[in-house]
Amino acid sequence: MLKIENLHARVEGKDILKGLTLTVNAGEVHAIMGPNGAGKSTLGNVLSGRDGYEVTEGSVTFNGVDLLALEPEARAAAGVFLAFQYPVEIPGVNNTYFLRAALNAQRKQRGERELDSMQFLKLVREKLKIMQISDELLHRAVNEGFSGGEKKRNEIFQMAVLEPKLAILDETDSGLDIDALKQVAQGVNALRSAERGFLVITHYQRLLDYIEPDFVHVLADGRIVESGDKTLALKLEEQGYAWVTDKDPVLHGASA
Amino acid sequence: MSEPQRTPFVDSQLEAAAQARLPGSSIGWLQAARRENLDAFAASGLPDTRMEAWKYTALRALGQRHFASGDEQAASRAVDASAFALPGIDGPALVFVNGVFRADLSRIDALPAGLDLQPLSQALQGDAEPLRFALSRHYREGGDVFARLNAALAGDGVVLRVAAGAKIAQPVHLLFIGAPGEVDLAWHVRHVIELGEDAELSLIEHHASSGDQQHLGTQVADIVLRKGARLRQVTLQDAATGSTLVRHDSVQLDAQAQASLYVLELGGALVRHDLHANLAGDRSRLETRGVFVLGGRQHVDTQMAIRHQALNTSSESVWRGVADQRSRGVFRGAIVVAEGADGSDASLSSKNLLLSGQAEIDTKPELEIYADEVKASHGATVGQLDERSLFYLRSRGIPLAEARSMLTAAFCRAVFEPLPEEGLREHLYHQLMAHLPSA
């Protein structure tokens, strides 16, 4: 589904991703772990099309389409969803209105019929159950005055309504206490399916106790330096990132 | 002082004055006031940008234009006033076409008790004495040149009185339609509005257009709120894209009177609005909430001056401006808390959004305080749409143009939220959305 090959990207003239290669198939959950500054958030931003990220080499295809050639809104319509590390507060834009506009914009781009307000409301009611979000959040402005946990749950709720093919979770665990973390993970798990791929970007192993990955990759200095199954995450937790970076001849050589 | 330049504009208006057949010509004091204001207009001519009040609005191009006076056809032009109906507003209505009252388009047959509403042209045929104070005004302030012109040439307008204690349930709709004519016209309307003690009124001032035209319209309104009176006024300015509109409103609030003024400026090529409010009585309260949304080469200049003159008065002003393409918005909000107006509370917020690199907005809050125990705050910003918010919306599938208009509408929306008439509020939102750049 998602095929990243030899991806190089820079931000403000600084090379961040330096040859990242990764394939995510439908139904798989991939965790990307790595130390601060490794390029984890850059990966999420490049995939979702944020301005200011320049791809200098490599390719990203999504179901055979050149993802990097698409505008952010077209990527969303194609089925890519980014759950933000820091969801943006948008005063004056009602949460429900926003979500309906987003869903219908995607449907329109895909040539599907837009949902009327009754159909949309029905969909929202179904999804609310999954996320255990209170009605009240829906009537407020997007993320405005939401607690950290509410913001992250709202991200997952949006994901539930938009039903992407690929969900990228950018440090969704940051700033969450254990209860909020469990709620968010529960929401994500409810959305796991054979048709959907997940890219879970995280600094800590903690989140992976609740969202069990099929694959774990270590991102260091812009490349994937180690891949394995979920036991890799546990090993990292025990031994720290130095264990993999020391093993890598390039990184080790650079720091020596 | 140097001799003012006799521009084609000034000449055309003096010529108009010479030919004008205005109602009330047999009223001595009125004729004297007209003459005095006309002389002052002729002597001053149009101001240039060296004058503080006109610093950001150049009138050179206007000065070269010629406007015919009085639309001879105005009484018979076919205009579909129903096109300007507002949702939920079906009460009394006065309709003017190119400044001329149109009884056939108005609704004043069954006025509620306590409401006296008639066109000025008609009021001048009866006992004009109650209008004497307002209509004898001489506009001596240097910048009040259009008020002078209006005082000299206005033959029609609105005379509205609400009797003490009367609470008028249905909003009154004042509709000014600019209609295309054979030539560019200048029209002038003059309003005298008074709410008696504890009276209540909701008023809609609506400027619209039945087709492309480049007329000049001027309006002068004197509004007096007696003790405890309450006025809510909504101004929807959607004049023709090519037109020039100059409004000069003076509002006086006696003790405990309250006025809430909402303004949405959308149309016009050159628009100037002077809003002078005087909180003259203890515990009077003023709220002004305005939005301008500009595009093309529109130029809209709002000059608001609020004077706190009495104890424990309060004013709250919330203004938002959006300028796209090569348009220019000007907002000046001057608040004076005079000596002795202790315990007053004044706040002013002017936030503005530039949607294009060629648009310009100048905002200038001014606060002068001469009293004690005053709470005052003001803030003004000019900025651009937040990139992070734009990306957030786009990342959810909302196309760039839609994301921009969504954020811009949100920026303006809060201004009208307190407006209780829901249908009207929604209408303002829709009008606002329709004027936002969509692609």
B71 pLDDT band, cuts 50/70/90, is confident
Identify the domain boundary among B251, B281, B311.
B281
Query: Would residue B421 count as lying in a domain?
Result: yes
Would you write out chain A's pLDDT as a tens digit for each of its 256 residues? 999 999 999 999 999 999 999 999 999 999 999 988 889 999 999 999 999 999 999 999 999 999 999 999 999 999 999 999 999 999 989 999 999 999 999 999 999 999 999 999 999 998 988 777 778 888 899 999 999 989 999 999 999 999 999 999 999 988 888 988 998 899 899 999 999 999 999 988 889 999 999 999 999 999 999 999 988 888 888 888 877 777 776 666 554 3
Does B215 score more than 90 pLDDT? yes
Domain count, chain B: 2
CA distance to A49, B89, B233, B312, B314, per residue, from B334 (Å): 45, 33, 20, 18, 14
Residue A88 neighbours by CB distance under 10 Å: 18
**Contact criterion met (CB < 8 Å) for B392 and A88:** yes
Q: Cα distance from B262 to chain A (closest Cα, Å)?
A: 18
Are A194 and A166 a contacting pair, CB within 8 Å?
no
**Contact criterion met (CB < 8 Å) for B402 and A51:** no
Give B383's contacts in chain A (Cβ within 8 Å). Answer: none
**B397, B411, B414 ranked by CB distance to A102: nearest:** B397
**Contact criterion met (CB < 8 Å) for B396 and A50:** no
Radius of gyration in angstroms for the set of CA atoms belonging to chain A, rounded to a whole number: 18
Identify whether residues B107 and B229 lie together within a single domain.
yes
Does B288 score more than 50 pLDDT? yes
Are A26 and A165 a contacting pair, CB within 8 Å?
yes
> In this predicted model, what pLDDT tens digit does every residue of B174-186 receive, in sequence order?
999 999 988 999 9
Identify whether residues B65 and B193 lie together within a single domain.
yes
Report the C-alpha gap between B176 and B156 in whole angstroms.
12
**A76, A93, A141 ranked by CB distance to B397: nearest:** A76
Phi-psi region of B165 (alpha: psi -120 to 50; beta: other; left: phi over 0): left
**Contact criterion met (CB < 8 Å) for A106 and B397:** yes
Q: Measured over all CA atoms, what is the biggest interatomic distance in chain A, rounded to whole angstroms?
A: 63
Instruction: Tell me how far the alpha carbon of residue B110 is from its chain's centroid.
Output: 27
Predicted confidence at residue A253, as pLDDT, reads: 54
Report the C-alpha gap between B46 and A2 in whole angstroms.
68
> In this predicted model, what pLDDT tens digit does every residue of B187-203 receive, in sequence order?
999 999 999 999 999 99
Does B62 score more than 70 pLDDT? yes
Query: Would residue B229 count as lying in a domain?
Result: yes
Please give the residue of chain B at the shortest CA–CA distance from A90. Answer: B389
Q: Cα distance from B393 to chain A (closest Cα, Å)?
A: 8
Query: Would residue B340 count as lying in a domain?
Result: no
Indicate the SS3 state at residue A225: strand
- Exposure class string for A190-201: b at 16+ Cβ within 10 A, else e: ebbeeebbbbbb
Identify the domain boundary among B281, B302, B334.
B281
Q: What is the mean pLDDT of residues B338-361?
A: 96
Q: Cα distance from A88 to chain B (closest Cα, Å)?
A: 6
The burial of B345, by beta-carbon neighbours within 10 Å (0-12 exposed, 13-18 middle, 19 or more buried), is given as: middle
Which of B292, B180, B196 has its CA nearest to residue B235?
B292
Out of A81-85, B266-270, B401-405, which region has the weakest mean confidence (pLDDT)?
A: B401-405
Report the C-alpha gap between B432 and B412 in whole angstroms.
8
**A88, A105, A158 ranked by CB distance to B402: nearest:** A105
ipTM over 0.90: yes
Q: Which of A45, A73, A114, A170 to mutate to test the interface with B (most CBs of B within 10 A)?
A: A73
Cα separation of the two ends of chain B: 51
Number of residues assigned to chain B: 439
Identify whether residues B107 and B232 lie together within a single domain.
yes
Out of A210-224, B64-78, B310-324, which region has the weakest mean confidence (pLDDT)?
A: B64-78
Query: Would residue B66 count as lying in a domain?
Result: yes
Which of B266, B220, B212 has its CA nearest to residue B242?
B212
**Three-state secondary structure of chain B:** CCCCCCCHHHHHHHHHHHHCCCCCCCCHHHHHHHHHHHHHHHHHCCCCCCCHHHCCCCCHHHHCCCCEECCCCCCCCCCCHHHHCECCECCCEEEEECCEECHHHCECCCCCCCEEEEEHHHHCCCCCHHHHHHHCCCCCCCCCHHHHHHHHHCCECEEEEECCCCECCCCEEEEEEECCCCCCEEEEEEEEEEECCCCEEEEEEEEEECCCCCCEEEEEEEEEECCCCEEEEEEEECCCCCCEEEEEEEEEECCCCEEEEEEEECCCCEEEEEEEEEECCCCCEEEEEEEEEECCCCEEEEEEEEEECCCCCEEEEEEEEEECCCCEEEEEEEEEECCCCCCCEEEEEEEEEECCCCCEEEEEEEEEECCCCCEEEEEEEEECCCHHHHHHHHHCCCCHHHHHHHHHHHHHHHHHCCCCCHHHHHHHHHHHHHHCCCC
Identify whether residues B123 and B248 lie together within a single domain.
yes
Q: Using beta carbons and an 8 Å cutoff, which residues of A are at the interface with B?
A: 48-51, 71-73, 75-77, 81-82, 84, 87-88, 90-93, 98-99, 101-103, 105-106, 109, 141-142, 158, 162
Predicted confidence at residue B5, as pLDDT, reads: 64
Identify whether residues B139 and B253 lie together within a single domain.
yes
* φ/ψ (deg, to 5) at A51: -65, 150
Identify whether residues B268 and B411 lie together within a single domain.
no
Instruction: Select the more confidently predicted residue: B347 or B5.
Output: B347
Query: Would residue B335 count as lying in a domain?
Result: no
Q: Cα distance from A94 to chain B (closest Cα, Å)?
A: 9
Query: Would residue B431 count as lying in a domain?
Result: yes
Predicted confidence at residue A250, as pLDDT, reads: 67
**Contact criterion met (CB < 8 Å) for A91 and B410:** yes
The whole-chain average pLDDT of chain B stands at 94
Interface of B with A in 321-350 (CB under 8 A): none
Give B395's contacts in chain A (Cβ within 8 Å). Answer: 48-50, 72-73, 75-76, 81-82, 84
Q: Is B391 on the interface with A (CB under 8 A)?
A: yes
Query: Would residue B23 count as lying in a domain?
Result: yes
Are B209 and B176 a contacting pair, CB within 8 Å?
no
**B387, B397, B409 ranked by CB distance to A105: nearest:** B397
Q: Which of B396, B408, B411, B436 to mutate to test the interface with A (most CBs of A within 10 A)?
A: B396
Q: Which two tokens stand for residue B314?
A: 């309060």
Q: Cα distance from A212 to chain B (closest Cα, Å)?
A: 26
Please give the residue of chain A at the shortest CA–CA distance from B391. Answer: A50
Q: Which of B351, B389, B394, B433 to mutate to test the interface with A (most CBs of A within 10 A)?
A: B394
Identify whether residues B275 and B391 lie together within a single domain.
no
**Contact criterion met (CB < 8 Å) for A92 and B395:** no
Query: Would residue B381 count as lying in a domain?
Result: no
Q: Cα distance from A108 to chain B (closest Cα, Å)?
A: 10
Please give the residue of chain A at the shortest CA–CA distance from B393. Answer: A102
Q: Which of A51, A88, A157, A169 to mutate to test the interface with B (most CBs of B within 10 A)?
A: A88
Question: Which residues make Cβ contacts (< 8 Å) with residue B112, sequence separation at least 6?
Answer: B91, B92, B166, B168, B169, B170
Give B407's contacts in chain A (Cβ within 8 Å). Answer: 90, 93
Does B439 score more than 50 pLDDT? no
Q: Which domain holds residue B399?
A: 387-439
Q: Cα distance from A119 to chain B (closest Cα, Å)?
A: 19
Indicate the SS3 state at residue A205: coil
Predicted confidence at residue B1, as pLDDT, reads: 46
Q: Which two tokens stand for residue B198?
A: 């504890």
**Contact criterion met (CB < 8 Å) for B396 and A158:** yes
Q: Cα distance from B235 to chain A (closest Cα, Å)?
A: 22
Identify the domain boundary among B242, B258, B281.
B281
